[in-house]
């Protein structure tokens, strides 16, 4: 039996973590991979709360690190379910980093994780409908629908482009690119 619809606020989740020295790269800034791992964690927590079941990550959209994160900062990841399909959910995540001394908060990135709920049989499971209680909820739901359409159309175009790559014309196609053709 399908579970009852749930409002966005039911599953909204925030994770805050202190950026310790072992998270840093050789340049002293926090690894992008550390942030991605935290984002995956908060996406899982949010999606599984809404779905009431185990979820897996399928696609990640818009990963851009806009500003570096420093050791000693407090990173907060705010996540909410923006969209639900039949068995999939889109979780929007806003990442902010706070300097504890100055209190200054910077927005480091926003991303969208598509998750799929799984049943005990490991097959995709139907997720509860999403109750949209304010204009922001409606805006995010429609935005996610549009992103899904754009992603599908890009995938089709990429598949089509891949099947038409003319390696024989490489000399001409690559003449202004920063590569050297040394094919045997
Ligand atoms: C995601 C997965 C469950 C899809 O399985 P499937 O047999 O293709 O299932 P379906 O075709 O029924 O699709 C299920 C849902 O996933 C969505 N989906 C499938 N592939 C997708 C993709 N590449 N991007 C976005 N959504 C996708 C479908 O649109 C569908 O959503 P809907 O029910 O809301 O319409 C399966 O590919 C899987 O288990 N992948 C591994 C995920 C994983 O382990 N992630 C952890 C990272 S290692």
Model pTM score: 0.93
Is residue 113 very low, low, confident or very high in pLDDT (cuts 50, 70, 90)? very high
Question: Cα(119)–Cα(52) distance, rounded to whole angstroms?
Answer: 10
Q: For residue 162, what pLDDT is reported?
A: 87
Ligand 1 and 88: CB distance under 6 A: yes
Ligand 1 and 126: CB distance under 6 A: no
* 122-144 residue pLDDT tens: 999 999 999 999 999 999 999 99
* Closest CA to ligand 1's atom 37: 58
* Mean pLDDT value across residues 76-96: 98
Q: Taking the domains of the chain in order of start, what are their residue ranges? A: 6-132
Give domain 6-132's CATH architecture: Roll (3.10)
Q: For residue 183, what pLDDT is reported?
A: 87
Nearest atom within ligand 1 for CA of residue 88: 34
* 36-46 residue pLDDT tens: 999 999 999 99
Backbone angles phi, psi at 7, to 5 degrees: -75, 160
* 22-77 residue pLDDT tens: 999 999 999 999 999 999 999 999 999 999 999 999 999 988 888 999 999 999 99
């Amino acid at each position: 039996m399908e579970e009852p619809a749930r409002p966005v606020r039911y599953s909204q989740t925030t994770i805050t973590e202190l950026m310790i020295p072992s998270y840093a790269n050789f340049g002293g800034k926090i690894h992008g991979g550390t942030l991605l791992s935290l984002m995956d964690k908060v996406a899982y927590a949010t999606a599984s709360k809404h779905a009431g079941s185990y979820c897996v990550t399928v696609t990640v959209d818009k990963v851009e690190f806009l500003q570096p994160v420093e050791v000693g900062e407090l990173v907060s990841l705010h996540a909410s379910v923006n969209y639900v399909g039949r068995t999939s959910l889109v979780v929007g995540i806003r990442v902010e980093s706070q300097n504890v001394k100055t209190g200054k908060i910077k927005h480091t990135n926003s991303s969208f994780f598509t998750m799929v709920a799984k049943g005990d049989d490991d097959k995709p499971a139907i997720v509860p409908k999403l109750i949209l209680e304010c204009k922001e909820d409606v805006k995010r739901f429609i935005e996610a629908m549009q992103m899904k359409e754009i992603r599908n159309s890009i995938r089709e175009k990429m598949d089509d482009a891949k099947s038409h790559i003319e390696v024989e014309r490489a000399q001409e196609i690559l003449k202004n690119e920063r590569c050297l053709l040394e094919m045997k």
